């Protein structure tokens, strides 16, 4: 009798443990309609919040605001150059504490899309690559190149193992439901040809082989090999379809605004247009939308990419750079999410029946076998409102808008009708004690610093500084004979400098002569100015300034031309000096 009791207790314990494991360790799969978490298909709204673009003290509040805004998922890149500043030396402290950030997302009850890359673009310095990678012998970036693939695999494996050690994948009971390998590679793949295609296949196989238990995606990569899901990035993605009919339609970057560059405008995207784009994507069959950015934040220190990306990465996001809610964008999107979630069952269990209502007007009607019905009534006319009849009911559709009817009768949301006033931020006195300010200060060494070299020919700034500084001095000297007449007459010479750099300050005999710089739109520039030289030795010094290393399509193989400064010995002819 005692033995039977023990046996029954043991069996009960095993059963309870098994049920517990089933509840905790969920599978993430997909079909043509959606991502499924533990067998349940979901329409998921996500938002990009990059952990190093805010402070650890802000993280929990940002995540909670995202949840309150109707998001299900937090999306973040992983920043290789922050985490491995030199080969084999890792940093995951403070703002770089990726594990802590993900744990806070889990604490809030949200999921994570971990975009490992490790190339990320993101207007981030060097596209997220550590500069030391450029100097690995025989390396060519983002192609079928063994040195690059070795380094990329090592870092990717490092991040995946960290996540596994902390049980952070959904298959382990954690919040990570998706991971991304590479980033917006399709344009590069076409340039590289067969080597690019081979690299894509290798990257997909390497990632899937890490056995994370969650799907992998490749954004803007039409040839993403199975089982990797190809996804869309852009202002609009209703045109997009995955490369296989059994893959879901995912939008990994719905751009809420745009980044800023020095001298450029601060771009804004009206929330009416953003909501219209999202509703249009959902009615087309989309089931995952990630807002890039939901909180843009700040490019601290020297992390801004380039050239000429600003320190602010506000992005006109629903949560602004400082963590404040931006209205009406935040509330309008929140109401959109509520409306679409009311339609979730019909959307995921049926395909749309498209009804033409007019020249620019359509109805996408979803009717499930269980009797659920949802409709999206759209007006694509940019200029004129419309009146339509659907199911014998009359509806008014503002221009360039979509109305959402979760029951095929009653409108609960229209993308063009904004009910929240714009944010009006006011600065008020506070009694909060500020303990300290953190500042970034880079020492610009004197032109006479001992760590100098003398060379003939072209110098590339990045090869000299290895990105330890944004500044580099170039110096040459000109000897003027006492027999020359122009110094006595006070006739100036003309100094001309042609450069593909970012900015320069020019000094003649220790005195500032002038400055010049390029822009995001016009990279190459020149400096031409009259200068006064005296008989004897004259020193011409140029302080070269780098404003962020190249990102995105500027990174080709391992060759960079942005930092070539054409600094040659000066020759003077008549009244003209050419540098």
What are the pLDDT digits (tens) for 46-105? 999 999 999 999 999 999 999 999 999 999 999 999 999 999 999 999 999 999 999 999
Compute φ and ψ for 563, nearest 5 degrees.
-110, 20
531-555: average pLDDT? 83
pLDDT at 363 over 70: yes
276-293: average pLDDT? 98
Partners of 30 in the beta sheet?
35
pLDDT at 22 over 60: no
The overall average pLDDT reported for the chain is 89
pLDDT > 90: what percent of the chain? 71
In whole angstroms, what is the distance from residue 579 CA to residue 572 CA? 9
pLDDT > 70: what percent of the chain? 89
Distances (CA, A) of 217 to 22, 174, 180: 25, 19, 5
Q: What is the band of 445 on the pLDDT scale with cuts at 50, 70, 90?
A: low
Q: How high is the pLDDT of residue 533?
A: 87
Q: What is the band of 441 on the pLDDT scale with cuts at 50, 70, 90?
A: confident
**Residue 471 and residue 563 in contact, taking contact as beta carbons nearer than 8 Å:** no
Nearest to 77 by CA among 102, 55, 106: 102
In whole angstroms, what is the distance from residue 262 CA to residue 313 CA? 12
Q: What is the DSSP letter of 315?
A: T
Q: How high is the pLDDT of residue 476?
A: 87
Mention every residue, 6+ apart, whose C-beta is less than 8 A from residue 62.
Answer: 49, 54, 295, 319, 323
In whole angstroms, what is the distance from residue 206 CA to residue 162 CA? 17
Highest mean pLDDT among 187-201, 395-409, 417-431, 471-485: 395-409
Q: What is the DSSP letter of 163?
A: H
Nearest to 415 by CA among 257, 276, 270, 280: 276
Q: How high is the pLDDT of residue 149?
A: 98
Q: How high is the pLDDT of residue 561?
A: 33
**Residue 399 and residue 385 in contact, taking contact as beta carbons nearer than 8 Å:** yes
Long-range contacts of 161-168 (CB under 8 A, 24+ apart): 162/92, 162/98, 162/99, 163/99, 163/102, 163/114, 163/212, 164/212, 166/99, 166/102, 166/103, 168/99, 168/102, 168/103, 168/106, 168/112
Between 189-193, 476-480, 521-525, 573-577, the lowest mean confidence (pLDDT) is in 573-577
Q: What is the band of 426 on the pLDDT scale with cuts at 50, 70, 90?
A: confident
In whole angstroms, what is the distance from residue 232 CA to residue 242 CA? 9
Between 2-11, 13-22, 388-397, 559-568, the lowest mean confidence (pLDDT) is in 559-568
pLDDT at 128 over 60: yes
In whole angstroms, what is the distance from residue 250 CA to residue 231 CA? 5
Residue appearing with tokens 């659920």 = 372
**Could you give the angle at the alpha carbon of 429 between the alpha carbons of 423 and 430, nearest 5°?**
100
In whole angstroms, what is the distance from residue 275 CA to residue 70 CA? 14
pLDDT at 37 over 60: yes
pLDDT at 564 over 60: no
**Residue 219 and residue 232 in contact, taking contact as beta carbons nearer than 8 Å:** yes
Q: What is the band of 420 on the pLDDT scale with cuts at 50, 70, 90?
A: confident
Q: What is the band of 569 on the pLDDT scale with cuts at 50, 70, 90?
A: very low
pLDDT at 240 over 80: yes
Q: What is the band of 169 on the pLDDT scale with cuts at 50, 70, 90?
A: very high
Q: What is the band of 447 on the pLDDT scale with cuts at 50, 70, 90?
A: low
In whole angstroms, what is the distance from residue 305 CA to residue 125 CA? 4
Q: How many residues does the chain have?
A: 579
109 Rama sector, left if φ>0, alpha if ψ -120 to 50, beta otherwise: left
Q: How high is the pLDDT of residue 556?
A: 46
Q: How high is the pLDDT of residue 13?
A: 47
513-525: average pLDDT? 90
Q: What is the band of 341 on the pLDDT scale with cuts at 50, 70, 90?
A: very high
Two tokens, residue 307: 């050239």
pLDDT at 506 over 50: yes
Query: Higher confidence at residue 474 or residue 559?
Result: 474
**Residue 549 and residue 122 in contact, taking contact as beta carbons nearer than 8 Å:** no
Q: What is the band of 266 on the pLDDT scale with cuts at 50, 70, 90?
A: very high
Q: How high is the pLDDT of residue 541?
A: 92
In whole angstroms, what is the distance from residue 243 CA to residue 236 CA? 18
pLDDT at 557 over 50: no
Architecture of domain 454-578: Sandwich (2.60)
In terms of CATH, what superfamily is 25-326?
Answer: Glycosidases (3.20.20.80)
Query: pLDDT tens digits, residue range 109-119?
Result: 999 999 999 99
**Residue 305 and residue 548 in contact, taking contact as beta carbons nearer than 8 Å:** yes
Between 120-129, 246-255, 491-500, 506-515, the lowest mean confidence (pLDDT) is in 491-500
Nearest to 545 by CA among 441, 451, 472: 472
Q: 410 exposed, middle or buried (CB, 10 Å; 0-12, 13-18, 19+)?
A: exposed
Q: How high is the pLDDT of residue 458?
A: 63
pTM for the predicted model, two decimal places: 0.90
Q: How high is the pLDDT of residue 524?
A: 85
Q: How high is the pLDDT of residue 280?
A: 98
Which sequence positions are flagged as catalytic?
184, 253
pLDDT at 174 over 70: yes
Q: How high is the pLDDT of residue 434?
A: 72
Q: How high is the pLDDT of residue 301?
A: 92
Highest mean pLDDT among 307-311, 377-381, 559-563: 377-381
Q: What is the band of 451 on the pLDDT scale with cuts at 50, 70, 90?
A: low
Two tokens, residue 167: 């049980």
In whole angstroms, what is the distance from residue 287 CA to residue 248 CA? 7
Two tokens, residue 349: 């269990």
């Amino acid at each position: 009798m005692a033995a039977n009791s023990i046996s029954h207790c043991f069996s009960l314990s095993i059963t309870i443990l098994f049920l517990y494991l089933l509840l905790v360790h969920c599978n993430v799969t997909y079909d043509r309609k959606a991502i499924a978490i533990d067998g349940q298909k979901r329409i998921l709204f996500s938002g990009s919040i990059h952990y190093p673009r805010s402070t650890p003290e802000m993280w929990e509040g940002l995540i909670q605001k995202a949840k309150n805004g109707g998001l299900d998922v937090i999306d973040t890149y992983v920043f290789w150059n922050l985490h491995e500043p030199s080969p084999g030396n890792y940093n995951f402290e403070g703002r770089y504490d990726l594990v802590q950030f993900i744990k806070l997302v889990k604490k809030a009850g949200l999921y994570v899309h971990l975009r490992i890359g490790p190339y990320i673009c993101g207007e981030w310095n060097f596209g997220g690559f550590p500069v030391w990678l450029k100097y690995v012998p025989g390396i060519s970036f983002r192609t079928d190149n063994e040195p690059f693939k070795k380094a990329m695999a090592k870092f990717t494996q490092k991040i995946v193992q960290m996540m596994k050690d902390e049980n952070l994948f959904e298959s382990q009971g954690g919040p990570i439901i998706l991971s991304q390998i590479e980033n917006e590679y399709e344009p590069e793949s076409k340039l590289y040809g067969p080597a690019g295609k081979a690299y894509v296949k290798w990257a997909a196989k390497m990632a899937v082989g890490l056995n994370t238990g969650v799907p992998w995606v490749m954004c803007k990569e039409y040839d993403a090999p199975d089982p990797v899901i190809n996804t869309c990035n852009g202002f609009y993605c209703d045109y997009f379809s995955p490369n296989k009919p059994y893959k879901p339609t995912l939008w990994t970057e719905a751009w809420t605004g745009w980044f800023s560059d020095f001298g450029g405008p601060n771009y804004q995207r009206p929330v009416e247009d953003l909501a219209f784009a999202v509703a249009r994507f959902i009615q087309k069959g989309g089931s995952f939308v990630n807002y890039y950015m939901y909180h843009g934040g700040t490019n601290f220190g020297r992390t801004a990419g380039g050239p000429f990306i600003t320190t602010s990465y506000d992005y006109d996001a629903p949560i602004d750079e400082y963590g404040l809610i931006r209205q009406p964008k935040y509330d309008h999107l929140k109401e959109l999410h509520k409306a679409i979630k009311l339609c979730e069952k019909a959307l995921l269990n049926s395909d749309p029946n498209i009804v033409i209502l007019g020249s620019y007007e359509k109805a996408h009607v979803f009717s499930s076998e269980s009797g659920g019905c949802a409709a999206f009534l759209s007006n694509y006319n940019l200029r004129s409102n419309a009146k339509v009849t659907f199911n014998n009911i009359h509806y008014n559709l503002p221009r360039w808008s979509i109305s959402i009817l979760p029951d095929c009768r009653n409108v609960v949301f229209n993308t063009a009708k904004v009910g929240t006033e714009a944010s009006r931020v006011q600065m008020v006195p506070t009694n909060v004690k500020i303990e300290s300010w953190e500042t970034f200060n880079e020492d610009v060494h004197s032109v006479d610093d001992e760590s100098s070299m003398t060379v003939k020919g072209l110098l590339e700034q990045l090869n000299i500084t290895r990105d330890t500084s944004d500044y580099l001095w170039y110096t040459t000297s000109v000897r003027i004979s006492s027999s020359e007449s122009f110094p006595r007459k006070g006739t100036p010479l003309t100094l001309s400098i042609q450069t593909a750099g970012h900015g320069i300050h020019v000094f003649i005999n220790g005195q500032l002569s002038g400055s010049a710089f390029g822009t995001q739109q016009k990279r190459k520039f020149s400096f031409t100015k009259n200068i006064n030289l005296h008989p004897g030795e004259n020193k011409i010094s140029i302080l070269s300034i780098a404003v962020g290393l190249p990102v995105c399509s500027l990174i080709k193989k391992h060759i960079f031309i942005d930092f070539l400064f054409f600094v040659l010995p000066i020759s003077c002819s008549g009244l003209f000096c050419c540098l």
